[in-house]
Amino acid sequence: SPPSATGRPTTSPTPRASERTIAADAAVSQVRKYESVLDELSIHPRLSLDVLNTVATEPDLAAEIGSLNQFRNAKDRIEGRTQVTSVQVDGVRLPNQVGRRDDLPTVKVSICLYVAGVRASDSSGRSIVTKSRKPYFLTHLTLVNPRYPKAAGWLVRNRTDREVDRCAL
């Protein structure tokens, strides 16, 4: 930190609660868009995967592109859409020194994703959904914003899913 008039280093103020709320709301909005984009790309195999760049970043971006390409190359098909049934913000970190790639603003979000209405089949029309699939995914997402404080800059960096029978956050 640069020295102040007293010769002591100055520090940036910690983000206010309202900044955290604005960041959390923007990240939750982006999570909903992200899930919608994944649905669209799964249902419509001719759509360009380039749209993923608007909702995800590495390493999630490469994982989603790989998964969608594998699905498309196998000529598998999806019918139905997922549904975000509940959302919880697990944490917001807005660092004082924005701009350092290793210290990006971060929001962690958990969602309940209803998947029971989604059907998947192989190229011959046989279901590729296991009979034991549970109706929900409990999904944890980490979003970063390299363009902070711009609200539209939130991108999913990491995602983990766990099948569950019930889900409420």
Mean pLDDT of the chain: 90
- Residue holding tokens 């029309």? 125
Distances (CA, A) of 11 to 2, 16, 18, 54, 106: 8, 15, 20, 33, 20
Distance CA 137, CA 153 (A): 26
- Encode pLDDT of 128-141 as tens digits: 999 999 999 999 99
Residue 169 corresponds to which tokens in the numbers above? 């956050």
What's the token pair of residue 28?
A: 């939750």
pLDDT tens by residue, 78-88: 999 999 999 99
Largest CA distance in the chain: 76
The label of the residue with tokens 């007293």 reads 6
Q: 155, 133, 135, 136: which is closest to 144 by C-alpha? A: 155
Q: What is the 3-state secondary structure (H, E, C) of 109-126?
A: EEEEEECCCCEEECCCCC
CA distance 27 to 39: 18
Q: How confident is the model at residue 101 (pLDDT cuts 50, 70, 90)?
A: low
Spatial separation of the C-alpha atoms in residues 89 and 96, rounded to whole Å: 20
Residue 9: per-residue pLDDT: 47
**What average pLDDT does range 51-56 have in this prediction?**
98
Q: In what order do the strands lie in the sheet with 155-164?
A: 83-93, 106-114, 136-144, 155-164
Among 156, 119, 150, 130, residue whose Cα is nearest residue 39: 119
Are the C-beta atoms of 143 and 163 separated by less than 8 Å? Answer: no
**How far apart are the C-alpha atoms of 157 and 105, rounded to whole Å?**
12
Question: pTM of this prediction?
Answer: 0.86
- β-strands 119-121, 155-164 pairing: unpaired
